Structure 1
Amino acid sequence: MNILQKIARQIIESSFNFSVYVIQRFYVMDTYANKIENLRQYPVGTLGNDIAKCLDDNELTLVPNFENHDLKHVLLDYKMTPVDEIRMQSFMLGNGNYTIPCFTILIFGAVLLPEEWNTFYKDFKKGKQSKPISSWTIEDFANLETLNLRKRIFTVNHKTNPIFNMEKLTKYAAVISIVAGIFGMIFCLPFLFSQNLADLVGAGFPFIGGAILTTGGLLALSNLAIRNTRKAEF
Protein backbone atom coordinates (compact mmCIF):
# COMPACT_ATOMS: atom_id res chain seq x y z
CA MET A 1 0.00 0.00 0.00
CA ASN A 2 1.55 3.33 -1.06
CA ILE A 3 1.41 6.61 0.84
CA LEU A 4 -1.53 7.98 -1.17
CA GLN A 5 -3.63 4.90 -0.44
CA LYS A 6 -2.83 5.20 3.27
CA ILE A 7 -3.80 8.88 3.25
CA ALA A 8 -7.08 8.10 1.45
CA ARG A 9 -8.01 5.51 4.06
CA GLN A 10 -7.11 7.90 6.84
CA ILE A 11 -9.32 10.60 5.31
CA ILE A 12 -12.26 8.18 5.11
CA GLU A 13 -11.77 6.97 8.68
CA SER A 14 -11.42 10.52 10.03
CA SER A 15 -14.54 11.61 8.14
CA PHE A 16 -16.60 8.75 9.55
CA ASN A 17 -15.32 9.37 13.08
CA PHE A 18 -16.12 13.08 12.82
CA SER A 19 -19.63 12.36 11.50
CA VAL A 20 -20.31 9.97 14.39
CA TYR A 21 -18.96 12.52 16.88
CA VAL A 22 -21.26 15.25 15.53
CA ILE A 23 -24.33 12.98 15.60
CA GLN A 24 -23.63 11.89 19.17
CA ARG A 25 -23.49 15.50 20.39
CA PHE A 26 -27.25 15.78 19.85
CA TYR A 27 -28.29 12.66 21.79
CA VAL A 28 -28.17 11.27 25.32
CA MET A 29 -25.78 8.37 24.76
CA ASP A 30 -26.68 6.59 28.02
CA THR A 31 -29.75 5.27 26.23
CA TYR A 32 -27.59 3.60 23.60
CA ALA A 33 -25.17 2.24 26.19
CA ASN A 34 -28.17 0.53 27.79
CA LYS A 35 -29.17 -0.91 24.42
CA ILE A 36 -25.74 -2.47 24.01
CA GLU A 37 -25.94 -3.91 27.52
CA ASN A 38 -29.28 -5.49 26.59
CA LEU A 39 -27.73 -6.96 23.45
CA ARG A 40 -24.98 -8.55 25.55
CA GLN A 41 -27.64 -10.56 27.38
CA TYR A 42 -28.68 -12.51 24.28
CA PRO A 43 -27.26 -16.04 23.94
CA VAL A 44 -23.91 -16.51 22.20
CA GLY A 45 -24.40 -16.98 18.47
CA THR A 46 -27.44 -14.75 18.21
CA LEU A 47 -27.37 -11.55 16.20
CA GLY A 48 -27.88 -9.36 19.28
CA ASN A 49 -24.91 -10.86 21.11
CA ASP A 50 -22.73 -10.74 17.98
CA ILE A 51 -23.51 -7.04 17.45
CA ALA A 52 -22.57 -6.25 21.06
CA LYS A 53 -19.34 -8.25 20.71
CA CYS A 54 -18.46 -6.48 17.44
CA LEU A 55 -18.96 -3.07 19.04
CA ASP A 56 -16.98 -4.04 22.15
CA ASP A 57 -14.09 -5.47 20.11
CA ASN A 58 -13.84 -2.24 18.10
CA GLU A 59 -14.44 0.01 21.13
CA LEU A 60 -17.49 1.53 19.44
CA THR A 61 -21.08 2.24 20.41
CA LEU A 62 -24.40 2.40 18.61
CA VAL A 63 -24.84 5.54 16.52
CA PRO A 64 -28.21 7.26 17.03
CA ASN A 65 -30.58 6.69 14.07
CA PHE A 66 -27.99 4.36 12.51
CA GLU A 67 -28.27 1.39 14.89
CA ASN A 68 -29.16 -1.00 12.09
CA HIS A 69 -25.96 -0.05 10.28
CA ASP A 70 -24.07 -2.27 12.73
CA LEU A 71 -26.57 -5.07 12.14
CA LYS A 72 -25.51 -5.10 8.49
CA HIS A 73 -21.81 -5.09 9.39
CA VAL A 74 -22.28 -8.25 11.44
CA LEU A 75 -24.68 -10.05 9.11
CA LEU A 76 -22.66 -9.33 5.98
CA ASP A 77 -19.34 -9.89 7.78
CA TYR A 78 -17.79 -6.58 6.78
CA LYS A 79 -15.17 -5.25 9.20
CA MET A 80 -15.16 -1.78 10.75
CA THR A 81 -12.48 -0.48 8.36
CA PRO A 82 -12.63 2.28 5.70
CA VAL A 83 -12.47 -0.18 2.79
CA ASP A 84 -15.05 -2.58 4.25
CA GLU A 85 -17.37 0.34 5.00
CA ILE A 86 -17.39 1.29 1.32
CA ARG A 87 -17.69 -2.37 0.33
CA MET A 88 -20.76 -2.71 2.50
CA GLN A 89 -22.37 0.33 0.89
CA SER A 90 -21.64 -1.21 -2.53
CA PHE A 91 -23.40 -4.38 -1.41
CA MET A 92 -26.35 -2.41 -0.02
CA LEU A 93 -26.72 -0.41 -3.23
CA GLY A 94 -26.92 -3.66 -5.19
CA ASN A 95 -29.33 -4.92 -2.53
CA GLY A 96 -31.74 -2.07 -3.25
CA ASN A 97 -30.79 0.49 -0.59
CA TYR A 98 -31.20 3.63 -2.71
CA THR A 99 -30.66 6.24 0.00
CA ILE A 100 -28.70 9.48 0.05
CA PRO A 101 -26.25 8.28 2.76
CA CYS A 102 -25.56 5.12 0.74
CA PHE A 103 -24.87 7.06 -2.48
CA THR A 104 -22.81 9.69 -0.64
CA ILE A 105 -20.55 7.22 1.18
CA LEU A 106 -20.08 5.08 -1.92
CA ILE A 107 -19.19 8.02 -4.18
CA PHE A 108 -16.85 9.40 -1.49
CA GLY A 109 -15.09 6.04 -1.20
CA ALA A 110 -14.98 5.42 -4.95
CA VAL A 111 -13.27 8.77 -5.53
CA LEU A 112 -10.64 8.17 -2.84
CA LEU A 113 -10.12 4.44 -3.47
CA PRO A 114 -10.06 3.86 -7.25
CA GLU A 115 -7.83 0.79 -6.77
CA GLU A 116 -10.79 -0.92 -5.05
CA TRP A 117 -13.33 -0.38 -7.84
CA ASN A 118 -13.25 -4.01 -8.95
CA THR A 119 -13.88 -5.16 -5.37
CA PHE A 120 -16.74 -2.69 -4.98
CA TYR A 121 -18.34 -3.96 -8.18
CA LYS A 122 -18.13 -7.56 -6.96
CA ASP A 123 -19.83 -6.53 -3.71
CA PHE A 124 -22.50 -4.71 -5.71
CA LYS A 125 -23.25 -7.87 -7.71
CA LYS A 126 -23.29 -9.93 -4.53
CA GLY A 127 -25.85 -7.57 -3.01
CA LYS A 128 -27.95 -7.74 -6.15
CA GLN A 129 -28.14 -11.54 -5.85
CA SER A 130 -29.06 -11.51 -2.15
CA LYS A 131 -32.33 -10.99 -0.30
CA PRO A 132 -33.19 -7.34 0.52
CA ILE A 133 -32.21 -6.45 4.08
CA SER A 134 -32.38 -2.65 4.16
CA SER A 135 -35.48 -2.78 6.38
CA TRP A 136 -34.09 -5.34 8.85
CA THR A 137 -33.83 -4.01 12.41
CA ILE A 138 -32.02 -5.14 15.53
CA GLU A 139 -35.30 -5.34 17.42
CA ASP A 140 -36.77 -7.82 14.93
CA PHE A 141 -33.77 -10.14 14.56
CA ALA A 142 -31.60 -9.81 17.69
CA ASN A 143 -32.85 -13.11 19.15
CA LEU A 144 -32.18 -15.16 15.98
CA GLU A 145 -28.97 -17.02 15.16
CA THR A 146 -26.57 -15.05 13.00
CA LEU A 147 -25.53 -18.02 10.85
CA ASN A 148 -29.14 -18.86 9.97
CA LEU A 149 -29.85 -15.26 9.06
CA ARG A 150 -26.82 -15.21 6.75
CA LYS A 151 -28.16 -18.29 4.99
CA ARG A 152 -31.42 -16.43 4.37
CA ILE A 153 -29.61 -13.44 2.93
CA PHE A 154 -27.28 -15.29 0.60
CA THR A 155 -29.84 -17.72 -0.78
CA VAL A 156 -29.85 -16.68 -4.43
CA ASN A 157 -33.25 -16.15 -5.94
CA HIS A 158 -33.34 -17.95 -9.30
CA LYS A 159 -36.79 -16.68 -10.18
CA THR A 160 -36.83 -15.41 -13.76
CA ASN A 161 -37.95 -11.88 -14.44
CA PRO A 162 -39.29 -10.44 -17.67
CA ILE A 163 -36.70 -8.72 -19.83
CA PHE A 164 -38.64 -5.48 -19.77
CA ASN A 165 -40.97 -4.06 -17.15
CA MET A 166 -41.92 -0.66 -15.82
CA GLU A 167 -39.89 -1.10 -12.64
CA LYS A 168 -36.67 -1.64 -14.61
CA LEU A 169 -37.48 1.30 -16.84
CA THR A 170 -38.02 3.52 -13.79
CA LYS A 171 -34.79 2.34 -12.19
CA TYR A 172 -32.70 2.98 -15.32
CA ALA A 173 -34.33 6.36 -15.85
CA ALA A 174 -33.63 7.32 -12.23
CA VAL A 175 -29.97 6.32 -12.51
CA ILE A 176 -29.57 8.25 -15.77
CA SER A 177 -31.25 11.23 -14.13
CA ILE A 178 -28.83 11.13 -11.19
CA VAL A 179 -25.75 10.78 -13.41
CA ALA A 180 -26.91 13.55 -15.75
CA GLY A 181 -27.77 15.81 -12.82
CA ILE A 182 -24.43 15.34 -11.08
CA PHE A 183 -22.53 15.83 -14.35
CA GLY A 184 -24.48 19.01 -15.09
CA MET A 185 -23.85 20.42 -11.62
CA ILE A 186 -20.11 19.68 -11.81
CA PHE A 187 -19.88 21.21 -15.31
CA CYS A 188 -21.67 24.40 -14.23
CA LEU A 189 -19.96 24.78 -10.86
CA PRO A 190 -16.82 26.70 -12.04
CA PHE A 191 -18.98 29.29 -13.85
CA LEU A 192 -20.87 30.08 -10.62
CA PHE A 193 -17.71 31.74 -9.29
CA SER A 194 -17.35 33.96 -12.35
CA GLN A 195 -17.63 37.74 -12.01
CA ASN A 196 -19.44 37.86 -15.34
CA LEU A 197 -23.21 38.17 -14.84
CA ALA A 198 -23.91 36.30 -18.06
CA ASP A 199 -21.87 33.33 -16.84
CA LEU A 200 -23.69 33.35 -13.51
CA VAL A 201 -27.12 33.39 -15.12
CA GLY A 202 -26.17 30.92 -17.82
CA ALA A 203 -24.74 28.44 -15.34
CA GLY A 204 -27.19 29.04 -12.50
CA PHE A 205 -30.30 27.64 -14.16
CA PRO A 206 -28.62 24.46 -15.47
CA PHE A 207 -27.07 23.93 -12.02
CA ILE A 208 -30.51 24.11 -10.41
CA GLY A 209 -31.85 21.80 -13.10
CA GLY A 210 -29.08 19.31 -12.34
CA ALA A 211 -29.93 19.44 -8.65
CA ILE A 212 -33.59 18.77 -9.45
CA LEU A 213 -32.68 15.82 -11.70
CA THR A 214 -30.42 14.33 -9.02
CA THR A 215 -33.00 14.75 -6.27
CA GLY A 216 -35.78 13.34 -8.44
CA GLY A 217 -33.68 10.30 -9.35
CA LEU A 218 -32.80 9.64 -5.70
CA LEU A 219 -36.45 9.91 -4.67
CA ALA A 220 -37.51 7.51 -7.42
CA LEU A 221 -34.89 4.94 -6.38
CA SER A 222 -35.86 5.33 -2.72
CA ASN A 223 -39.52 4.69 -3.55
CA LEU A 224 -38.57 1.59 -5.53
CA ALA A 225 -36.46 0.33 -2.63
CA ILE A 226 -39.35 0.78 -0.19
CA ARG A 227 -41.73 -1.01 -2.54
CA ASN A 228 -39.36 -3.95 -3.07
CA THR A 229 -38.68 -4.25 0.65
CA ARG A 230 -42.38 -4.55 1.39
CA LYS A 231 -42.71 -7.28 -1.23
CA ALA A 232 -39.72 -9.24 0.05
CA GLU A 233 -40.54 -12.52 1.79
CA PHE A 234 -38.25 -14.46 4.03
Structure 2
Amino acid sequence: MRALLIEKLYEWTKKPYQKYFKKNKPWNLTPKELILYPQESLGFHMGCFLLKYNFEMQPKLEDHDVIHVLTNTGISVPEEIAMQYFLLGNGKKSLYMAFVLVIGTCFYPTQLQFFYNFYKRGRSAHQFHHLDFENMLYQPISEIQFTFNIK
Protein backbone atom coordinates (compact mmCIF):
# COMPACT_ATOMS: atom_id res chain seq x y z
CA MET A 1 0.00 0.00 0.00
CA ARG A 2 2.79 2.44 0.89
CA ALA A 3 4.58 1.70 -2.39
CA LEU A 4 1.39 2.45 -4.28
CA LEU A 5 0.98 5.74 -2.42
CA ILE A 6 4.55 6.78 -3.19
CA GLU A 7 4.10 5.85 -6.84
CA LYS A 8 0.95 8.02 -6.97
CA LEU A 9 2.80 10.93 -5.37
CA TYR A 10 5.47 10.57 -8.05
CA GLU A 11 2.89 10.54 -10.84
CA TRP A 12 1.22 13.67 -9.44
CA THR A 13 4.50 15.57 -9.09
CA LYS A 14 6.36 14.37 -12.20
CA LYS A 15 4.79 16.76 -14.74
CA PRO A 16 5.24 19.95 -12.66
CA TYR A 17 8.81 18.86 -11.86
CA GLN A 18 9.59 18.33 -15.56
CA LYS A 19 8.00 21.62 -16.56
CA TYR A 20 9.20 24.00 -13.86
CA PHE A 21 12.42 22.55 -12.51
CA LYS A 22 14.14 20.67 -15.33
CA LYS A 23 15.70 23.07 -17.83
CA ASN A 24 17.56 20.56 -20.01
CA LYS A 25 16.34 19.51 -23.44
CA PRO A 26 14.79 16.03 -23.91
CA TRP A 27 17.09 13.51 -25.57
CA ASN A 28 14.59 12.30 -28.16
CA LEU A 29 15.99 8.77 -28.21
CA THR A 30 14.08 5.54 -27.93
CA PRO A 31 15.21 2.36 -26.17
CA LYS A 32 15.43 0.64 -29.58
CA GLU A 33 17.81 3.35 -30.80
CA LEU A 34 19.92 3.06 -27.67
CA ILE A 35 20.49 -0.69 -28.04
CA LEU A 36 22.14 0.04 -31.39
CA TYR A 37 25.03 1.69 -29.53
CA PRO A 38 28.17 -0.43 -28.96
CA GLN A 39 27.53 -3.21 -26.44
CA GLU A 40 29.93 -1.86 -23.84
CA SER A 41 28.54 1.69 -24.03
CA LEU A 42 26.37 3.59 -21.61
CA GLY A 43 23.80 4.05 -24.38
CA PHE A 44 23.48 0.32 -24.99
CA HIS A 45 23.10 -0.37 -21.26
CA MET A 46 20.49 2.39 -21.02
CA GLY A 47 18.53 0.78 -23.85
CA CYS A 48 18.73 -2.63 -22.16
CA PHE A 49 17.55 -1.16 -18.85
CA LEU A 50 14.58 0.56 -20.47
CA LEU A 51 13.58 -2.51 -22.49
CA LYS A 52 14.00 -4.85 -19.51
CA TYR A 53 11.45 -2.85 -17.53
CA ASN A 54 9.34 -1.87 -20.55
CA PHE A 55 10.04 1.83 -19.94
CA GLU A 56 10.21 4.80 -22.25
CA MET A 57 12.51 7.66 -21.40
CA GLN A 58 10.70 10.46 -19.62
CA PRO A 59 11.49 13.79 -21.33
CA LYS A 60 13.98 15.84 -19.29
CA LEU A 61 14.30 13.00 -16.74
CA GLU A 62 16.74 10.84 -18.71
CA ASP A 63 19.54 11.35 -16.17
CA HIS A 64 17.47 9.47 -13.60
CA ASP A 65 17.62 6.31 -15.72
CA VAL A 66 21.35 6.83 -16.32
CA ILE A 67 21.91 6.85 -12.56
CA HIS A 68 19.99 3.56 -12.30
CA VAL A 69 22.28 2.05 -14.92
CA LEU A 70 25.55 3.43 -13.55
CA THR A 71 24.78 2.45 -9.94
CA ASN A 72 23.11 -0.84 -10.87
CA THR A 73 20.04 0.12 -8.83
CA GLY A 74 16.70 -1.60 -9.30
CA ILE A 75 13.30 0.03 -9.63
CA SER A 76 11.43 -1.00 -6.48
CA VAL A 77 10.25 1.89 -4.31
CA PRO A 78 12.91 1.28 -1.61
CA GLU A 79 15.59 1.10 -4.34
CA GLU A 80 14.35 4.37 -5.85
CA ILE A 81 14.62 6.01 -2.42
CA ALA A 82 18.05 4.44 -1.88
CA MET A 83 19.20 5.89 -5.20
CA GLN A 84 18.20 9.34 -3.96
CA TYR A 85 20.34 8.71 -0.88
CA PHE A 86 23.20 7.78 -3.21
CA LEU A 87 22.74 11.10 -5.02
CA LEU A 88 22.63 12.99 -1.71
CA GLY A 89 25.93 11.35 -0.77
CA ASN A 90 27.29 12.31 -4.19
CA GLY A 91 26.54 15.96 -3.52
CA LYS A 92 23.25 16.51 -5.31
CA LYS A 93 20.80 18.78 -3.58
CA SER A 94 17.30 19.69 -4.66
CA LEU A 95 13.99 20.41 -3.04
CA TYR A 96 12.37 17.53 -4.94
CA MET A 97 15.04 15.10 -3.72
CA ALA A 98 14.57 16.31 -0.13
CA PHE A 99 10.83 15.65 -0.49
CA VAL A 100 11.52 12.09 -1.72
CA LEU A 101 13.99 11.43 1.08
CA VAL A 102 11.68 12.66 3.85
CA ILE A 103 8.60 10.85 2.55
CA GLY A 104 10.54 7.72 1.65
CA THR A 105 12.30 7.51 5.00
CA CYS A 106 9.02 7.98 6.87
CA PHE A 107 7.34 5.25 4.81
CA TYR A 108 10.29 2.82 5.00
CA PRO A 109 11.95 3.27 8.43
CA THR A 110 13.04 -0.38 8.43
CA GLN A 111 15.21 0.33 5.38
CA LEU A 112 17.41 2.95 7.10
CA GLN A 113 20.55 0.79 6.98
CA PHE A 114 19.93 0.05 3.29
CA PHE A 115 19.51 3.78 2.61
CA TYR A 116 22.61 4.63 4.62
CA ASN A 117 24.68 2.12 2.65
CA PHE A 118 23.63 3.83 -0.57
CA TYR A 119 24.46 7.23 0.93
CA LYS A 120 27.97 5.94 1.77
CA ARG A 121 28.37 4.59 -1.77
CA GLY A 122 27.44 8.01 -3.13
CA ARG A 123 29.98 9.71 -0.83
CA SER A 124 32.74 7.35 -1.93
CA ALA A 125 32.08 8.04 -5.61
CA HIS A 126 33.57 11.08 -7.30
CA GLN A 127 30.89 13.66 -7.98
CA PHE A 128 29.17 12.80 -11.25
CA HIS A 129 25.47 13.61 -10.82
CA HIS A 130 25.86 16.89 -12.73
CA LEU A 131 27.45 15.46 -15.90
CA ASP A 132 25.95 15.75 -19.37
CA PHE A 133 25.20 12.06 -19.81
CA GLU A 134 23.77 12.46 -23.29
CA ASN A 135 27.28 13.27 -24.52
CA MET A 136 28.61 10.16 -22.77
CA LEU A 137 26.32 7.56 -24.36
CA TYR A 138 29.12 6.12 -26.52
CA GLN A 139 31.56 5.78 -23.63
CA PRO A 140 32.07 2.35 -22.10
CA ILE A 141 30.00 2.03 -18.94
CA SER A 142 32.85 0.30 -17.09
CA GLU A 143 35.14 3.25 -17.89
CA ILE A 144 32.62 5.74 -16.47
CA GLN A 145 32.10 3.62 -13.36
CA PHE A 146 35.87 3.28 -12.85
CA THR A 147 36.61 6.96 -13.47
CA PHE A 148 33.99 8.11 -10.98
CA ASN A 149 34.51 5.24 -8.51
CA ILE A 150 30.88 4.14 -8.81
CA LYS A 151 30.45 0.84 -7.00
- The gaps in structure 2 that reach 5 residues or longer are 20-24
User: How big is the alpha-carbon RMSD for the aligned residues of Structure 1 and Structure 2?
Assistant: 2.5
1:8 aligns with 2:5: no
Quick check: which has more Rg, 1 or 2? Answer: 1
Paired position in structure 1 for 2:75: 80
Paired position in structure 2 for 1:132: 127
% identity of equivalent residues: 23
Q: 1:149 aligns with which of 123, 144, 149?
A: 144
| Kept after mapping to 2: 8 A contact 1:91/1:127 | yes
Q: Distance in 2 between matches of 1:49 and 1:17?
A: 27
Alignment of 1:165-184 (within 5 A): none
Paired position in structure 2 for 1:119: 114
Normalised by the length of structure 2, the TM-score is 0.83
Secondary structure of the structure 2 residue equivalent to 1:68: helix
Paired position in structure 1 for 2:91: 96
Q: Distance in 2 between matches of 1:80 and 1:155?
A: 18
Q: 2:63 aligns with which of 45, 63, 68?
A: 68
Question: How far off is 1:137 after superposition?
Answer: 2.6
| Kept after mapping to 2: 8 A contact 1:41/1:49 | yes
Q: Distance in 1 between matches of 2:55 and 2:9?
A: 15
Equivalent pairs counted in the alignment come to: 145
Question: How far off is 1:116 after superposition?
Answer: 0.5
Cα deviation per residue 1:115-153 (whole Å; 9 max; x = unaligned)? 111111121111111111111233221001112211222
Choose between structure 1 and 2: higher helix proportion.
1
Question: How far off is 1:107 after superposition?
Answer: 1.1
Question: How far off is 1:32 after superposition?
Answer: 6.3
Cα deviation per residue 1:36-61 (whole Å; 9 max; x = unaligned)? 24322201121001111111111111
Could you tell me which amino acid in structure 2 is paired with residue 115 of structure 1? T
Secondary structure of the structure 1 residue equivalent to 2:29: helix
Q: Distance in 2 between matches of 1:33 and 1:95?
A: 24
Q: Distance in 1 between matches of 2:27 and 2:97?
A: 26
| Kept after mapping to 1: 8 A contact 2:41/2:141 | yes
1:15–1:43: structure 2 CA closer, same or farther, 3 Å change rule?
same
Normalised by the length of structure 1, the TM-score is 0.56
Stretch deviating more after TM superposition (7-16 or 40-49): 7-16
Q: Distance in 1 between matches of 2:48 and 2:148?
A: 21
1:109–1:15: structure 2 CA closer, same or farther, 3 Å change rule?
same
Which structure ranks higher in relative contact order (CA pairs < 8 Å, sequence separation ≥ 6)? 2
Q: Distance in 2 between matches of 1:154 and 1:128?
A: 10
Q: 1:49 aligns with which of 41, 44, 50?
A: 44
- The gaps in structure 1 that reach 5 residues or longer are 1-6, 157-234
Extract structure 1 runs of 4+ deviating beyond 4 A.
Answer: 31-34
| Kept after mapping to 2: 8 A contact 1:42/1:48 | yes
1:85–1:126: structure 2 CA closer, same or farther, 3 Å change rule?
same
